Amino acid sequence: MSHYLQHLEHVKGRFDHALQGSDFDAVLIAAGQPAVAFLDDNAYPYRVNPLFKYWLPITASPKSFIYYRSGEKPRLFLYQARDFWHSTPKLPPGEWQEGFDVTLIDNVETVVQALGKQVSNTAFLGEVHAPIDSWGLAALNPESMIHSIHFHRAIKTEWELQNMRKANVLAARGHNAARDAFYAGKSELEIHAAYLAAMKCRETETPYNSIIALNQNGAILHYDVYDADAPAEHRSFLIDAGAYYNGYCADITRSYAAKDGFYGDLVAAVDAAELAIIKKVKPGVSYYDLHVEMHRMIAQILADFGFFKVNAETIFERGYTRPFFPHGLGHYIGLQVHDVGGYLKSDDGTSYERDATHPFLRLRRELEAGQVFTIEPGIYVIDQLLEEFDGNEDFNWQRIAELRPYGGVRIEDSVVVTADGYENITRDAFASLS
């Protein structure tokens, strides 16, 4: 059996488990549909329901549905509009067609007509809108079922891992082109265009807005403005940009110095720390513990580079790392960039409590083989976060001011937990292109 068909059996098993613990006989999963802008007739870019593309690699066919009853072959209601204004989405060829009974539809009401009385015992998963809300379904997005599926989605199948490896190769190709554009003195907008061209995709075909930040803009964690004009001087470049393959995500960050010196040395130090923390990845380790250990490493870097007048242990104990490294160490990744289930203790929805010390950490679970997550430490000069420490003599404000024109540093890879360690699929992707 192929990796995809094995994956499909795995997904069916996870939905069987969710249905067994519910009051429902079946589930109906909607692909979703584009939302139209207010007082306009143009739609926002369409994003498929992640629970739909979990079943099969169809990401551009809105108004389609999957119906699944335990023990039966899933049914795919594939929407193909009778429309001379737009092109019909191209369906990916392949063995997914073996796994479904396919019915072509050009009206979504065909779905409820085909299912008949079965809808009254069917749970719906997806965006709720007319006419779905009038179909008489048993439940709309029941939390118990969503918790169960989200918890188990953290463990990836081999088919999912293959897609994520390929997504990382695509993104790495774009990153290399963006790096070259930076060294050629291009603007943020031109660098972004180079990134997309290298991957041969449109901006709407990436999993999130790329962060293309020159100089001080690297201190804005989700910067996506893209200045059209190049700055007078290129000092630094931070790029956080991803790619899709069969609906699965890559999420990579790299930082570059325009020339050797202080900032380039800081990039090298953060890169070394990122690789060092990844070496600790193995089953049974707490991701929270990795996050805390990363703060200790950041404290050492801050001390080594003279950002403080106190030692690394004091920097850590007094919480001084947090304004420089305010976000979490990383997050699950898969069908979504920030994939789900990071705080679930079990499939019944029991969750870890949020830690007030590290409120932006997205992942608290213990590591298990098959999980995929990012590791993304950073150091930034964010004036808003430094305000509360104004006048604190432990800080070397002159040294901090030297970093401000460079913004910050972040390095990010995606890591698979294996039976005895890890696989760094991002570094492997870059290596495959060298």
Binding residue numbers:
240, 251, 331, 376, 412
Known binding residues for Mn(2+): 240, 251, 331, 376, 412
Structure tokens, 277:
């923390």
Of 94, 114, 141, the one marking the end of a domain is 141
Q: pLDDT of the chain along its 434 residues, tens only? A: 799 999 999 999 999 999 998 999 999 999 999 999 999 999 999 999 999 999 999 999 999 999 999 999 999 999 998 887 777 777 777 899 999 999 999 999 999 999 999 999 999 999 999 999 999 999 999 999 999 999 999 999 999 999 999 999 999 999 999 999 999 999 999 999 999 999 999 999 999 999 999 999 999 999 999 999 999 999 999 999 999 999 999 999 999 999 999 999 999 999 999 999 999 999 999 999 999 999 999 999 999 999 999 999 999 999 999 999 999 999 999 999 999 999 999 999 999 999 889 999 999 999 999 999 999 999 999 999 999 999 999 999 999 999 999 999 999 999 999 999 999 999 999 999 98
Domain boundary among 88, 106, 141: 141
Q: Where are the beta strands (DSSP E) in 297-421?
A: 372-375, 378-380, 408-410, 413-417
Which of 113, 141, 169 represents a domain boundary (last residue)? 141
237 within a domain of the structure (yes/no): yes
HSE of 187, CA atoms in CB hemisphere, 13 A: 10
**From start to end of 246-285, where are the E strands?**
248-257
One domain, residues 41 and 168: no
Domain shared by 411 and 365, yes or no: yes
pLDDT value for 90: 74
> What's the pLDDT at 72?
96
User: Does one domain contain both 281 and 205?
Assistant: yes
CA–CA gap between residue 116 and residue 135 (Å, rounded): 10
Distances (CA, A) of 19 to 111, 122, 124, 146: 21, 10, 12, 11
Asked whether residue 135 falls in the same domain as residue 188, the answer is no
**Is residue 420, in this structure, part of any structural domain at all?**
yes
- pLDDT at residue 138, as a whole number: 96
Looking at residue 386, which CATH number applies to its domain? 3.90.230.10
> Which residue range forms the structural domain that includes residue 88?
3-141
The three-state secondary structure class of 179 is helix
Query: Domain check: are 133 and 170 in the same one?
Result: no
CATH of the domain at 8: 3.40.350.10
Q: How many domains does the chain have?
A: 2
Tell me: do 52 and 166 sit in the same domain: no
Same-domain pairing of 360 and 399: yes
In a domain, 149, yes or no: no
List of residues 6+ apart from 260 with CB closer than 8 A: none
Give me the pLDDT at residue 19, please: 97
Segment 145-148 long-range contacts (CB within 8 Å, at least 24 positions apart): 145/18, 145/19, 145/22, 145/24, 145/27, 147/344, 147/347, 147/348, 147/349, 148/14, 148/17, 148/18, 148/21, 148/347, 148/348
Contact present, 111 and 66 (Cβ < 8 Å): no
- Kindly state whether residues 85 and 130 are assigned to the same domain: yes
Looking at residue 81, its pLDDT comes to 87
Question: Same domain for 242 and 349?
Answer: yes
- Give yes or no: residues 173 and 114 share one domain: no
Q: Do 121 and 173 share a domain, yes or no?
A: no
